[in-house]
């Protein structure tokens, strides 16, 4: 399989402009700014079938097309580099190893919607990545590919790297925009959508790092070449961050639609130390866990994973072997989401902490028989009742752990302790 996003990842000093350009870097940007109209660019990306890689999977070209062309307000493009999903570290690899690909993709997207100020919003903890991006932007600006009258085209564009303060909620696009405006990172009610009322109330597009990094290749090789990869509805390639109980953890690039089980066993080396697979989360900590039997015929594309009862999400694959206590795993995730809830919506604010307390008491031997049904009830009252998807992100994994490993939870409650790997 031809790699798109990781094709140059191991090239020494790829983070420098000289090396990136020696590999064909910024050729797509020059082509776009010198010879393409925004409408042509949008149509090309639509034809490629590229979908957002941040988790939602929304068609990228269609998202750009929602921005009103005749708006008197400024337009903004924001690269969402606030990667904070548990188990996900793909964007970080691109940012630190291939920052110019992220910058070039951001420039291309900005040109598509004809904005003149773009931002890369990066998670505060990613200090090294932020430094790499800032260096890349400075190099490109000195070379004349950012700024006034870029490459003699008459098009002006400023690109600003902005560091967030490390809140998980700011990965949600409207919360990110609230933070970028200088306010608390609280999500906003939709509609109106950012395409018409985004940053500072102006038309705005927010795209993920991986989404934007794919654009240079698409513009170099053509939409048809990208659309030829993957499945009918999930085109191209996808990055997967693999961690947990696996022999070869890391970031992998696969063509969409690749068999999940084959990927874990052949590419990632399977579960080490002779242990058995007990569960796997396919798209980051906010997605429902799948049992081993559920991944037998699952392929790594949006539709197949959803049909199996979970979501592809950010592609953060978390592998758990048979030594894993699922009660503790559920509590660990619930504790994370309870801590990260912004508190704006009462179902999420109260429900996340409630679920965490229930999991905590089960884990510590004080669980009661009705606790499992209570978790299902609380999670059901959170889902679909919050401003942003955070509530669902906390509720879905909690309910999935209880439903799919109920016998283990019941045993834990009965014995008042963990019995995984121990004689009862």
Reported as a single tens digit per residue, the pLDDT across 354-373 is 999 999 999 999 999 899 99
The CATH code belonging to domain 17-227 is 3.40.50.11540
Mean pLDDT of the region 245-272: 96
Of 167, 163, 73, give the one whose Cα is nearest residue 121: 163
Distance CA 158, CA 153 (A): 15
* 3-state SS assignment for residue 122: strand
Domain ranges of the chain: 17-227, 237-321, 326-415
Residue range 326-415, CATH number: 1.20.1440.230
For residue 88, the 8-state DSSP code is -
Instruction: For residue 166, give both structure tokens.
Output: 């490390």
Cβ-proximal residues to 284 (8 Å cutoff; 6+ apart), any chain: 55, 85, 86, 87, 88, 313, 314, 315, 316, 318
Q: In the structure encoding, which two tokens stand for residue 183, read together?
A: 């306010």
Does residue 422 surpass a pLDDT of 60?
A: no
Q: Hey, is 177 helix, strand or coil?
A: helix
Q: Would you give the distance in Å from CA 298 to the centre of its chain? A: 20
The predicted-structure confidence for 394-411, as pLDDT tens digits, reads as follows 999 999 999 999 999 999
**Residue 128 and residue 130: Cα distance in Å, rounded?**
5
Q: Label residue 424 by pLDDT band (50, 70, 90).
A: very low
Q: What is the mean pLDDT of residues 322-327?
A: 96
Query: For the residues 108-132, what does the mean pLDDT come to?
Result: 96
C-alpha torsion 262→263→266→267, nearest 10: 170
Q: What is the 3-state secondary structure (H, E, C) of 144-165?
A: CCCECCHHHCCCCEEEEEEECC
Q: Per-residue pLDDT averaged across 268-292, rounded?
A: 96
- Contact partners, residue 136, CB within 8 Å, separation at least 6: 15, 17, 99, 100, 102, 103
**Residue 148 CB: number of other CB atoms within 10 A?**
11
Residue 222: the pLDDT is: 94
Question: Hey, what are 162's tokens?
Answer: 């902005």
- The first and second tokens of residue 74, run together, are 């400024």
What mean pLDDT do residues 173-189 have? Answer: 94
Compute how many other C-beta atoms are within 10 angstroms of the C-beta atom of residue 277: 21
Residue with tokens 């992100």: 393
Averaged over 13-29, what is the pLDDT?
A: 96
Is pLDDT of 186 > 80?
A: yes
Percentage helix, strand, coil, to 5, in the chain? 45, 15, 40
DSSP string, 390-401: HHHHHHHHHHHH
Please determine, for residue 423, whether its predicted confidence score (pLDDT) is greater than 50: no
How many residues appear in the chain? 424
Per-residue pLDDT at 204:
97
Closest CA to 53 of 281, 247, 214, 205: 214
Token pair for 156: 């002006």
Name the CATH architecture for the domain at 237-321.
Roll (3.10)
Q: Is the pTM of this model over 0.75?
A: yes
CB atoms within 10 A of CB 401: 26
The beta strand positions in 291-413, using DSSP E, are 299-300, 316-321
Given this model, what pLDDT does residue 421 score? Answer: 67
User: CA-CA distance, 274 to 322, in Å (whole number)?
Assistant: 10
Q: Once rounded to an integer, what is the mean pLDDT over residues 181-187?
A: 93
What value does the mean pLDDT take over residues 315-338?
96
Per DSSP, what are the bridge partners of residue 64?
Answer: none
**Both structure tokens of 217:** 């290749």
- Burial tier of 232 (Cβ tally within 10 Å: 0-12, 13-18, 19+): exposed
Helix (H) or strand (E) holding 314: none
Per-residue pLDDT tens for 48-93? 999 988 878 899 999 999 999 888 999 999 999 999 999 999 999 9
Q: Are 341 and 348 in contact (CB under 8 A)?
A: yes
Are residues 137 and 41 in contact, defined by beta-carbon separation less than 8 angstroms? no
Q: Is 323:420 a contact under the CB 8 Å cutoff?
A: yes
The pLDDT score that the predictor gives to residue 57 is 83
Which among 161, 89, 173, 159 is positioned nearest to 117, based on CA atoms?
Answer: 159
Please give the mean pLDDT across all residues of the chain: 94
């Amino acid at each position: 399989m031809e790699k798109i996003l990781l094709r140059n990842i191991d090239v020494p000093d790829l983070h420098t402009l000289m090396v990136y350009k020696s590999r064909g870097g910024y050729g797509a940007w020059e082509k776009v700014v010198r010879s393409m109209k925004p409408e042509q660019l949008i149509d090309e990306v639509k034809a490629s079938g590229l979908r957002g890689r941040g988790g939602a999977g929304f068609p990228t070209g269609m998202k750009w097309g929602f921005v009103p062309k005749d708006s008197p307000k400024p337009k903004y493009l924001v690269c969402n580099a606030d990667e904070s999903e548990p188990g996900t570290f793909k964007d970080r690899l691109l940012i630190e190893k291939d920052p110019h690909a992220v910058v070039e993709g951001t420039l291309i997207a900005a040109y598509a919607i004809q904005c003149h100020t773009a931002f890369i919003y990066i998670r505060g903890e990613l200090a090294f990545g932020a430094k790499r991006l800032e260096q890349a932007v400075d190099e490109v600006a000195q070379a004349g590919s950012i700024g006034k009258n870029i490459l003699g085209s008459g098009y002006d564009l400023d690109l600003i790297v902005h560091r967030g303060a490390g809140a998980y909620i700011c990965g949600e696009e409207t919360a990110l925009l609230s933070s970028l405006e200088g306010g608390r990172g609280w999500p906003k009610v939709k509609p109106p959508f950012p395409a018409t009322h985004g940053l500072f109330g102006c038309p705005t597009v927010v795209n993920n790092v991986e989404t934007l990094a794919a654009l240079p290749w698409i513009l170099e090789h053509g939409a048809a070449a990208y659309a030829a990869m993957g499945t009918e509805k999930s085109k191209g390639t996808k990055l997967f961050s693999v961690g947990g109980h696996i022999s070869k953890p890391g970031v992998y690039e696969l063509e969409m639609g690749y068999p999940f089980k084959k990927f874990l066993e052949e590419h990632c080396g399977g579960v080490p130390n002779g242990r058995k697979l007990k569960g796997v989360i396919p798209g980051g900590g906010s997605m429902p866990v799948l049992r081993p039997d559920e991944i037998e015929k699952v392929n790594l594309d949006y539709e197949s994973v959803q049909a199996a009862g979970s979501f592809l999400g950010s592609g953060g694959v978390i592998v758990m072997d048979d030594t894993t206590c699922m009660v503790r795993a559920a509590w660990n995730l619930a504790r994370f989401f309870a801590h990260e809830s912004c508190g704006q919506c009462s179902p999420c604010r109260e429900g996340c902490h409630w679920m965490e307390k229930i999991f905590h008491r089960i884990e510590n031997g004080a669980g009661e028989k009705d606790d499992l049904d209570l978790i299902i009830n609380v999670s059901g009252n959170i889902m679909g009742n919050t401003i942003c998807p955070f509530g669902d992100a906390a509720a879905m994994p909690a309910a999935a752990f209880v439903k799919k490993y109920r016998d283990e939870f019941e045993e834990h409650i009965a014995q008042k302790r963990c019995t995984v790997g121990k004689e009862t």
